[in-house]
Amino acid sequence: MTVTTTTPGTRTRGTRTTRRTDWSAADARGPRRHQADAAAGFTGRDGRRAVAVADGVGDSPAAARAARIAADHAVRTAVLDGRADLAVLAARDVLLGAGLPGDAALTVALGPDARLAEPTWTVAWVGDVRALAVVDGRPQPLTRDHSVGAAMRAAGVEVAPRMDHVLTTSVRTVRGAVEIGLTVIAEPDALVLATDGVHRALDPDTLAGLCAAVPAAHLPRALVAAATAADTHDNATALVVVAGARPVVPEPRRG
């Protein structure tokens, strides 16, 4: 596998890694024709930050565009409005309001508000991009897939694995905040967001072993490499934010 470190927006073959001082992401197109995953991060002037990963539905330019727009818009809305769930709805409104084709699963995590005494992260999601909190090297799931397979298994019905790819809620189809998954957690050591090309390819023991052994800064690349080695059948994307790291606050514009 060819691993290339690049800056955002650069297209390369193999695995791409995007780095920031407080978050990093890696992705690989895998066997698909198009890279329809997207990762994004945004830090406001007050230092509050948000990260997001989107997984376009299907293997097409429309899916790739929907994922990129959803991720980019969600992180900015989350920081500016202070609500992770509203960021999901804002991403929906952009796709529908502009008449854009394509759809995506989306998970967005909003970092602590400096005005609060206890630092907490808020995670909102639709679809099957999973979020994990890493505490003392142990990954703890924060999300539950919005898919037909997950819903039927929760009801005690065994279904074929292909039903895990049929989403019950997505950016385009979410009707309101009540359909958005939402959780609030105390600040962990790190947060991991991963598309199904990663989390379905890795068994729990492999995932736990990587989280325990690999430093957070290198974990996205390790997760994507492991998913690729496991012959994932999808795009594979992982984003890790070091929750306790000091974010880069943009310099105020002058003039």
pLDDT along the chain (255 residues), means of 10: 33 51 90 96 92 96 97 97 96 92 96 84 97 93 93 87 90 95 94 96 94 93 96 95 62 46
- Phi, then psi, of 241 in degrees rounded to 5: -115, 130
Residue with tokens 């090309």: 197
Give the number of domains in the chain.
Answer: 1
pLDDT at position 4, please? 31
Instruction: Summarize the chain as % helix, strand, coil (round to 5).
Output: 30, 30, 40
pLDDT at position 244, please? 63
pLDDT at position 2, please? 34
Q: Within 13 A of 243's CA, how many CA atoms are on the CB side?
A: 24
pLDDT at position 245, please? 56
With respect to residue 17, please indicate whether it lies within any of the assigned structural domains: no
With respect to residue 193, please indicate whether it lies within any of the assigned structural domains: yes
With respect to residue 14, please indicate whether it lies within any of the assigned structural domains: no
Query: Structure tokens of 217?
Result: 């800064």
46 is in which domain, residue-wise? 33-242
With respect to residue 6, please indicate whether it lies within any of the assigned structural domains: no
User: Among residues 140, 139, 142, 126, which one has the least CA distance to residue 222?
Assistant: 139
51, 129, 235, 236, 240 from 208: Cα distances, Å: 22, 18, 21, 18, 14
With respect to residue 114, please indicate whether it lies within any of the assigned structural domains: yes
With respect to residue 86, please indicate whether it lies within any of the assigned structural domains: yes
SS3 state of residue 234: coil
Q: What is the CATH number of the domain that holds 215?
A: 3.60.40.10
pLDDT at position 159, please? 83
Contact (CB, 8 A) for 194 and 223: yes
